[in-house]
């Protein structure tokens, strides 16, 4: 089914008219691929902002004089992970510096290798979380900056997050994400338990604490979708949504069960004294399971 309008599928983001953050995705007219009015779109800060103004009259296109051909997804060259797989010492990668404060060096190195964690100089101390799919194709590289002391993302004076295809100025790159850590599925037999969280940071930390399970991350609340979970059919999937996100992920898990997925959604964090948006790592700090 094809509609007259759709949200822009590129990685472009604009200033949200509601919250003022650069997290706004505009609607485009499908046939012309042109943007609608500046206020028509959706903010990606679904929990904190939730602004969404959809276009009127978004009817199904029964026939198209010029059918829209979806572009093939782009992939990074295989050597790019090795190029940025360096500079983990001397505070050049704040996330790795944070990990080394609380975990054995050998365990941190194992996590770096398992998840292909990279280092970027786009911002001093930035981390690259590569998204590599089950076919070992490099779908994307998300660049994020963390505070080396708290392990929290740097959000002031503005959020520090971008994509490697933007850093490398690959203007023609067609982004099609996969779950962070998906490439590791080849090492796990069908029927094994796969745990899914939202944050890449949380997936890495939990892989050190509970290495028996495979930990994957959606990267955002909205990325829990069937298209990204297809390689996981036949596995036992356990979802761990952030605090206050249980209802949304639970509803999605019910839909996925109807499609044949063996999937459950944990409400563990909903019953704990945590702030909105806190996750399993914050819970473990509360319970003093990690520093």
The percentage of residues in the chain with a pLDDT greater than 90, rounded to a whole number, is: 65
> Is residue 79 very low, low, confident or very high in pLDDT (cuts 50, 70, 90)?
very high
Residue-wise pLDDT for 130-172, tens only, equals: 999 999 999 999 999 999 999 999 999 888 999 999 999 999 9
Spatial separation of the C-alpha atoms in residues 108 and 131, rounded to whole Å: 19
CA distances, 209 to each of 174, 205, 245, 286 (Å): 35, 7, 23, 16
Instruction: Yes or no: say if 132 and 116 are a contact pair by the CB < 8 Å rule.
Output: yes
The domain locations on the chain are 1-68, 80-167, 184-286
Question: What is the reported pLDDT for 108?
Answer: 97
The SS3 of residue 127 is: strand
Instruction: Yes or no: say if 284 and 251 are a contact pair by the CB < 8 Å rule.
Output: no
Please state which CATH number belongs to domain 184-286. Answer: 3.40.1360
Q: Beta-strand (E) ranges in the chain? A: 5-7, 24-29, 34-35, 41-43, 52-53, 117-120, 126-132, 138-144, 161-163, 193-197, 214-217, 236-239, 262-265
Task: Using a cut of 0.75, tell me whether the model's pTM lies above it.
Answer: yes
Among 117, 91, 4, 122, smallest CA distance to 55 is for 4
> Is residue 71 very low, low, confident or very high in pLDDT (cuts 50, 70, 90)?
confident
Instruction: Yes or no: say if 112 and 204 are a contact pair by the CB < 8 Å rule.
Output: no
């Amino acid at each position: 089914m094809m509609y007259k309008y759709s949200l822009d599928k590129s990685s472009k983001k604009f200033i949200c008219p509601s919250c003022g953050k650069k997290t706004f995705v505009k609607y485009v007219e499908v046939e012309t691929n042109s943007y609608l009015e500046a206020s028509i779109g959706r903010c990606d800060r679904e929990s904190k902002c939730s602004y969404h103004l959809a276009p009127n009259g978004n009817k199904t296109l029964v026939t198209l004089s010029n059918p829209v051909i979806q572009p093939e997804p782009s992939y990074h060259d295989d050597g790019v992970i090795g190029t940025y797989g360096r500079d983990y010492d001397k505070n050049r990668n704040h996330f790795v510096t944070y990990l080394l404060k609380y975990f054995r060096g050998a365990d941190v190195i194992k996590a770096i290798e398992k998840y292909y964690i990279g280092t970027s100089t786009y911002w001093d101390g930035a981390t690259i979380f590569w998204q590599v799919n089950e076919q070992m194709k490099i779908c994307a590289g998300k660049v994020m900056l963390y505070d080396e002391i708290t392990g929290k993302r740097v959000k002031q004076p503005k959020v520090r997050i971008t994509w490697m295809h933007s850093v490398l100025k690959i203007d023609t790159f067609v982004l099609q994400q996969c779950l962070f850590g998906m490439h590791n599925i080849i090492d796990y037999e069908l029927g094994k338990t796969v745990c899914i969280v939202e944050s890449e940071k949380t997936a890495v930390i939990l892989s050190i604490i509970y290495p028996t399970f495979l930990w994957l991350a959606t990267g955002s609340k909205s990325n829990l979708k069937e298209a990204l979970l297809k390689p996981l059919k036949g596995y036992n999937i356990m979802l761990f949504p952030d605090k206050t996100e249980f209802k949304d992920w639970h509803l999605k898990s019910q839909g996925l069960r109807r499609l044949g997925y063996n999937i459950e959604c944990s409400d563990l964090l909903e019953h704990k004294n945590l702030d909105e948006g806190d996750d399993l790592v914050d819970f473990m700090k509360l319970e003093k399971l990690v520093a």
